[in-house]
Amino acid sequence: GFSNWPHLEIILFRIILIFYLVTLIGYLFIIVLSYLDSNLHTPMYFFLSNLSVLDLCYTTSCVPQMLVNFWGPEKTISYTGCAIQLYVFLWLGATECVLLVVMALDRYVAVCYPLQYTTIMHTRVCVQLAILAWGTGLVHSVIQAHATLQLPFCSRQMLDGLFCEIPALIQISSSDTTYNEILMSIASIILLVVPLILILSSYCAIAKAVLKIKSVAGRKKALGTCTSHLLVVSSFYGTVTSIYLQPKNHYAHERGKFLTLFYTVVTPTLNPLIYTLRNKEVKGALIRLGKKAQDSQNI
C-alpha cells in the first residue's frame, strides 16, 4: 500500500469506499434495467450487461482487500487468498480486453451494415462471442497465474503494490524471472496491443461510414452509439498499458500504484456513468419502468 503516507491511506480509504459503492449501484442498475426492459434486449445491451457483471466482479476481487489494508496497520493476505485474487483478477482483466473488442465489432456491424445487423448479430452469435471472451480470459489466467505462483517467494514476502498482481509478485521472487517477464510481455501484446489495434481499425471503418451519411441527425445517432464505448476503451487501455507494457524496474514506483488505483477503482466507476448519463435509450427505459411502477400502484 502507501505505508510511508499513513494520512494518505485514510483519505484513500474514504474515497475508494465511495467509488466502490457508486460502482456497485451503477452496474446493478444497468444489469437490472437491461433485464427488465424488453427494448434493451439487443446485442449492444447484452454485451453491456456482460461488461457490467465483469467489472462488478473485477473491482470486488481487489477493492475490499484494498480497503482493509488502508483501514489499519495490518496489511496481510494469506497465500491462498493471494493466489485466488491473482487467478480471478487475471481472468476478469483479460476477459475485459476481449469483450471490449467484441463490443467494438458490434458497433462496427451496427453502423457499417445496419440492414444486416439483426441477421449478423443474432442471439447465438452474441452468446458465442461472450463465451469466447470469458473463455479466453480464463485460459490466460490459468497460464499466467500458474507460472507466477511457481516462483519461490521465501526470502521476501512484502509486496510493493496494492494487491496480488503479476508485476508486484515478480518483484519479490528470489529466482530468475526472465521466463515470467517474457510470458507477461507476450500476453500483453496479445491481450492489449492486438485488441487495441482491432478496436481502432473498427472505428476507422466506422468513421468512414459515418462520413458517407448525408443527414446530420444520422451522423449524430451513429456517433452517439460509439462515443461511450470509445471513452471506456480510452480510460481502460490508457492505464493498463502503462502498467503492463513498462519495464519491470519501474513498477515499484509510486506512480505505478496510482495508475493501478485508476484502472481498478476509478475506471469501473466511470463506466456505468458514461453508459447511462449519455444514453437516451437507458433514460427512456428508466422512464418506462417508472410509468409501469406508477400504473401498478394506481391499480
Report pLDDT for 147: 92
Q: Identify the domain containing residue 280 by its residue range.
A: 6-298
Q: Residue 221: is it exposed, middle or buried by C-beta count within 10 angstroms (0-12/13-18/19+)?
A: middle
Average pLDDT over residues 168-185: 84
**pTM, full prediction:** 0.86
Cα–Cα nearest to 268, from 66, 68, 70? 66
pLDDT digits (tens, 9 = 90+) for 219-274: 776 676 677 778 888 878 877 776 666 655 544 455 667 777 877 888 888 888 87
Q: Is the pLDDT of residue 45 over 90?
A: no
How far is CA 72 from each of CA 21, 222, 252, rounded to the nearest angstrom? 20, 49, 22
Report pLDDT for 144: 93
In a domain, 78, yes or no: yes
Percent of the chain beyond pLDDT 90? 24
Report pLDDT for 257: 73
pLDDT digits (tens, 9 = 90+) for 6-23: 678 888 889 999 999 999
Could you identify the residue written with the cell 503492463? 244
In a domain, 147, yes or no: yes
In a domain, 11, yes or no: yes
CB 226 within 8 A of CB 206: yes
In a domain, 208, yes or no: yes
Other CB atoms within 10 A of residue 286 CB: 15
pLDDT digits (tens, 9 = 90+) for 122-150: 999 999 999 999 999 999 999 999 999 99
Query: Considering only 111-120, 148-157, 246-255, which range has the smallest mean pLDDT?
Result: 246-255
Query: How many CA atoms, within 13 angstroms, populate the side-chain half-sphere of residue 14?
Result: 4
Report pLDDT for 246: 62
Question: How high is the mean pLDDT of the chain?
Answer: 83
Average pLDDT over residues 106-125: 90
Percent of the chain beyond pLDDT 70? 85
The total number of structural domains in the chain stands at: 1
Report pLDDT for 251: 46
In a domain, 292, yes or no: yes
User: Where residue 40 sits, what CATH number does that domain have?
Assistant: 1.20.1070.10
Query: Considering only 1-10, 197-206, 289-298, which range has the smallest mean pLDDT?
Result: 289-298
Report pLDDT for 198: 93
In a domain, 216, yes or no: yes
In a domain, 1, yes or no: no
| pLDDT range class, residue 156, cuts 50, 70, 90 | low
